[in-house]
Amino acid sequence: MKLNYYAATDSLYIDLSEQPSVESREISEGIVLDYDSKGNLVGIDIDNASRKVQLEHLLVNKLPSEITTVAA
């Protein structure tokens, strides 16, 4: 899973899978869900993210994985 914030567009993309998106559905203004060819959720796009999501703090709790941080 990857969290990518794009300051130029104030958008946050949460990439849930390595699978390509073939369908997108806007479920709320500026919130788009991406699905693969099997109908599985593969990503979430949030426009105007700084107004909808707390970007200043990220808490990762008990995930069974390696965490890698990439500085901007």
Please write the tens of the pLDDT for every residue from 10-37.
999 999 999 999 999 999 999 999 999 9
Domain span at residue 25?
A: 2-52
Whether residue 70 lies inside any domain: the answer is no
Q: What whole-number distance in Å separates Cα of residue 68 and Cα of residue 72?
A: 13
Whether residue 29 lies inside any domain: the answer is yes
Q: What is the pLDDT of residue 72?
A: 63
Domain count for the chain: 1
Whether residue 17 lies inside any domain: the answer is yes
Is 50 in a helix, a strand, or coil?
Answer: helix
Higher pLDDT: 72 or 36? It is: 36
